[in-house]
Structure 1
Amino acid sequence: MASDLAPLPRLTRDLTEPEPIPEAGIVRACELMRSGRLFRYGEMGADQNDVALLEQEVAAFVGRRYCVAVNSGGAALCLALKVLDVRPGDPVLVNSFTLAPVPGAIVHAGARPVLVEIGTDYVIDCDDLRRKARASGARILLLSHMRGHIADMDAVAAACDELELLLIEDCAHALCAAWGGRTVGTFGAAAAFSAQTYKHLNAGEGGFLLLDDPDRTARAILHAGSYMLHAQHLSAPSAEVMAAWEETTPNFSMRMTALAAALLRPQLKDLPLRARRWNAIHDRIGKAIARSRHVRLPARSAKESYAATSVQFSLPGFDSREMAAFLACCAARGLPVKWFGADQQRGFTSAPRHWRYAGEQGPLEQTHAVLAGLCDIRTPVSLTDQDCDLVAAIVREAIETVVSARAGTGKTGRAATG
């Protein structure tokens, strides 16, 4: 690498800055705030139907029969476990590359996480899934499509059939994704989506539970907190099914507000176009980063259709000091990079070693070997092609700086920006 080239400019974009809410959502939110009617139910009849309409629209978008809108993606996961009859202390299988709200939802439901190894492509190891399922006696797999990386769903479905596992899909990063032409979120007994800021839809906080079974849906509506006003749902089982569960299902107060729904409805209409732009950003950065021989990108099957809101890559062979130096070089250029191998959890990023509340899990050596070099960069949909090229060039420059120091040359190599 030439060392006499001009240094790269700083990245001045804030990668945590979300897009504005569409104007239609702002107008509707202002109408609701002026009315003060922010609760999704009304005692004198439906005060408004923003949430009920959104539930219909999300169910149709994903391709499931029912949708129950709640206050977070974690709440949706907890409700999924409850309506699948998880009992206190039950083991629940979950892939070990995920975020803390996922094992947190298992604990919230009173169950016990059993972490399953991942492979070098960041998705669940089906061989370890079989081992852990047989050893634990678990009957539920909570499969996290972490950062939008979709496992071989044919293999997962076969393992679930073989092991008689009920599948819950955590689709917080997988709205608009598919496997073999089938929409992600339709493979299992239930699926949970998120509307937290930085996901595909942004209400600040919010979530959706998607189901096909009417009895489970009735319980989810009642658990979420409909009181006796569930007739105001437009995506709901029959009155007879609801009545059968009314007096035996506790209210957990997990409802979505009308205000959140008002912000989300116009975003859903725009999502397919936004997803295409997100993927263009992901692919441009990934292709440019891969020009470094020290980078490993996860392999993706031709059957996988993703909708990526961030980019992940691995730096195999970098030790913890080199990873820290790499992160510091990127930060000096204005580029924040998350690292899943850090000793301490930071921001949103944590790893199984940090989840002491999940109980003893064994070594998970394969997972931690992968996470030791796993990096993550948020990619807002507003990034330009020039922004993408600069992000990738900063990454490559930082890598070459660390590699040059390792070789003892003292050079601070420069990555090309073309």
Structure 2
Amino acid sequence: MSALSRSSAHGARSTRSAPARFDFDLTQPDPIPEVGITRAIELMRSGRLFRYTEFDGEHGNDAADLEVRFAELVGRRYAVAVNSGGGAIFTALRACGVQPGDRVLLNGYTLAPVPGAIHHAGAEPVLVEITEDLTIDLADLRRKAEASGARTLLLSHMRGHVADLDAVAALCDELGVDLIEDCAHTLGADWAGRATGTFGRAGCFSAQTFKHLNSGEGGFLVTDDDEVAARAILHSGSYMLYEQHRARPPMSVFEPLRGQVANYSLRMTALAAALIEPQLDLLAERVERMNRLYRELELLVGDIPFVQLCRRPAEEGYVGSSFQFALPGVPPEQIATVVQIAGEYGLPVKWFGEPIMRGFTSRPAQWEYIGPDQELPRTEGILATLCDLRVPPSMQLQHCRVAADIIRFAVEEATGPA
């Protein structure tokens, strides 16, 4: 009888001593810089928290100032700050011309707010398979684009895994498909030296607490397209005060759009902008810290029996804000035991193969609103064995060692001796 077919007798077989308990909270973000806290307090004392003013020079426009800096950081002409990453994606879809009833291509490995943004726009997601490297399958993308007639690809760089963006962009150009990038997990990442978020018509970023910038909730849309930027600003809730945006196209671009573009009231608040702005200076150092932690986990977890890690192409300048490992060939009940044992030792391992949606984690088969006719057998097979660990910049190298010890112990306990 093989090791994988033995029934688990949790706690009875391992010849290794029990690991130390994981005593770090993986949801712990870096503190907000004091200058951001000070500015937020100033705003609260002023009471002027709304996103625009009707009087020139009345007070600073924190969101507009932040947009200028964010556009420069990413390397795009325009940026629009909104209230969430999902709001940025929805705004990008509408600003790029997606209408109710349209079809939008989407890779099957993503988080629920991404297909949710397509649904919010009244469009229909067309799911595309992924590869074992957790990136979009270009052959399936071609098939689905040609079969569906979809003219937009919403490409999710899920958990920081960046596809060959040169190849994706070239295929989209060939097929006449607009590319919108979901970069919630790739701020600071690149493909062959070019930043994510700059390959398509629009790129979308997140400033949720668990991302690279922390405002609690917030998002950005970046673009070089004059009309997309103007539409996004109007959609975000500028009323007729769009001149107060600083990272915007010329005023003449707005004039023919004024009465055509609906106001969705998605604009980022001054408070959120005040908290984010000083964090831009810390981004490069945060990325370096997360990548150091990610590489340590790779070394420590990569040789555990039954564990498979993702291949990272040389062209991918990734940001390791989370760590994925697969357990191919391990039965679901034993993967569930791995997760259970890790949790008993204080390590919160997420599993995409969970039979029900849990926390932030879900997969395409569980998004019932999409409809039952969009099966992704390869993607579902990959996600069935995929586990996930958050890697916050506040984590330390010693935490990686304890986490790896727990994962090794849990896998050995769940699968039995080799």
Same fold by TM (over 0.5)? Answer: yes
Q: Are 1:19 and 2:30 counterparts? A: yes
Q: Are 1:58 and 2:70 counterparts? A: yes
- Residue 412 of structure 1 corresponds to none
How far did residue 37 of structure 1 move?
0.8
The structure with higher relative contact order (CA 8 Å, sep 6+) is 2
Partner AA of 1:42 in structure 2: T
- Aligned residues of 1:197 and 1:205 also touching (Cα < 8 A): yes
Query: Is 143-152 or 13-22 further displaced after alignment?
Result: 13-22
Q: Are 1:136 and 2:148 counterparts? A: yes
- Aligned residues of 1:115 and 1:361 also touching (Cα < 8 A): no
Q: Are 1:341 and 2:353 counterparts? A: yes
TM-score (norm 1): 0.95
- Residue 319 of structure 2 corresponds to 307
Out of 279, 287, 310, which is 2:299 matched to?
287
How far did residue 69 of structure 1 move?
0.4
- Residue 10 of structure 2 corresponds to none
- Aligned residues of 1:40 and 1:47 also touching (Cα < 8 A): no
Q: Are 1:151 and 2:163 counterparts? A: yes
- Residue 185 of structure 1 corresponds to 197
- Residue 3 of structure 2 corresponds to none
Q: Secondary structure at the match of 2:106?
A: strand
Question: After the TM superposition, which residues 77-156 of structure 1 pair with which residues of structure 2 at under 5 Å, given as runs?
Answer: 77-156=89-168
Partner AA of 2:184 in structure 1: A
How far did residue 154 of structure 1 move?
2.1
Q: Distance in 2 between matches of 1:5 and 1:232?
A: 63
- Aligned residues of 2:18 and 2:409 also touching (Cα < 8 A): no
How far did residue 320 of structure 1 move?
1.2
Q: Are 1:10 and 2:10 counterparts? A: no
Partner AA of 1:22 in structure 2: P
Q: For residues 245-291 of structure 1, give each alpha carbon's deviation from its aligned partner in whole angstroms, at most 9, with x where no partner exists.
A: 11211111000000000000011111001100000011101221001
Out of 26, 41, 45, which is 1:30 matched to?
41
Percent identity of paired positions between Structure 1 and Structure 2? 55
Q: Distance in 2 between matches of 1:361 and 1:244?
A: 41
- Aligned residues of 1:41 and 1:47 also touching (Cα < 8 A): no
- Residue 205 of structure 1 corresponds to 217
How far did residue 88 of structure 1 move?
1.2
Q: Distance in 2 between matches of 1:161 and 1:261?
A: 35
Q: For residues 210-239 of structure 1, give each alpha carbon's deviation from its aligned partner in whole angstroms, at most 9, with x where no partner exists.
A: 011111111111110011111111111112
Query: Is 347-356 or 232-241 further displaced after alignment?
Result: 232-241
Q: Distance in 2 between matches of 1:248 and 1:369?
A: 45
- Residue 5 of structure 2 corresponds to none
Q: For residues 12-66 of structure 1, give each alpha carbon's deviation from its aligned partner in whole angstroms, at most 9, with x where no partner exists.
A: 1111121211111111101101111111211112532211110000000000000
Query: Is 148-157 or 5-14 further displaced after alignment?
Result: 5-14
Partner AA of 1:341 in structure 2: G
Q: Distance in 1 between matches of 2:260 and 2:40?
A: 35
Query: Is 96-105 or 11-20 further displaced after alignment?
Result: 11-20
How far did residue 362 of structure 1 move?
2.9
Q: For residues 388-410 of structure 1, give each alpha carbon's deviation from its aligned partner in whole angstroms, at most 9, with x where no partner exists.
A: 111111111111111217x6xxx
Q: Are 1:373 and 2:405 counterparts? A: no
Q: Distance in 1 between matches of 2:208 and 2:186?
A: 13
Partner AA of 1:239 in structure 2: M
Query: Is 342-351 or 5-14 further displaced after alignment?
Result: 5-14
- Residue 39 of structure 1 corresponds to 50
Partner AA of 1:395 in structure 2: I
How far did residue 82 of structure 1 move?
0.6
Partner AA of 2:254 in structure 1: M
Partner AA of 2:26 in structure 1: L
Partner AA of 1:31 in structure 2: E
Q: Distance in 2 between matches of 1:257 and 1:19?
A: 21
Q: For residues 52-93 of structure 1, give each alpha carbon's deviation from its aligned partner in whole angstroms, at most 9, with x where no partner exists.
A: 110000000000000000001111111111111112111100
Query: Is 128-137 or 45-54 further displaced after alignment?
Result: 45-54
- Residue 396 of structure 1 corresponds to 408
Partner AA of 2:28 in structure 1: E
- Residue 416 of structure 1 corresponds to none
Q: Distance in 2 between matches of 1:5 and 1:106?
A: 48
- Residue 219 of structure 1 corresponds to 231
How far did residue 5 of structure 1 move?
4.9
- Aligned residues of 1:312 and 1:374 also touching (Cα < 8 A): yes
How far did residue 343 of structure 1 move?
1.0
C-alpha change, 1:62 and 1:203, in structure 2 (3 Å) is same
- RMSD over aligned Cα atoms: 1.2
How far did residue 4 of structure 1 move?
5.6
Q: Distance in 2 between matches of 1:119 and 1:347?
A: 24
Q: Distance in 2 between matches of 1:9 and 1:208?
A: 40
Q: Distance in 1 between matches of 2:364 and 2:144?
A: 16
How far did residue 152 of structure 1 move?
1.2
Q: Secondary structure at the match of 1:271?
A: helix
Query: Is 18-27 or 2-11 further displaced after alignment?
Result: 2-11
Q: Distance in 2 between matches of 1:19 and 1:384?
A: 12
Q: Distance in 2 between matches of 1:80 and 1:5?
A: 52
Out of 347, 365, 370, which is 1:353 matched to?
365
- Aligned residues of 1:94 and 1:144 also touching (Cα < 8 A): yes
Query: Is 154-163 or 210-219 further displaced after alignment?
Result: 154-163
Q: What 5-or-longer segments of structure 1 have no aligned partner?
A: 408-418
Partner AA of 1:74 in structure 2: G
Q: For residues 277-331 of structure 1, give each alpha carbon's deviation from its aligned partner in whole angstroms, at most 9, with x where no partner exists.
A: 0000111012210011311111011000011211011010111101111101101
Partner AA of 1:112 in structure 2: E
Partner AA of 1:286 in structure 2: E
How far did residue 155 of structure 1 move?
1.9
How far did residue 7 of structure 1 move?
2.0
- Residue 266 of structure 1 corresponds to 278
Q: Distance in 2 between matches of 1:246 and 1:83?
A: 13
Out of 309, 322, 326, which is 2:338 matched to?
326
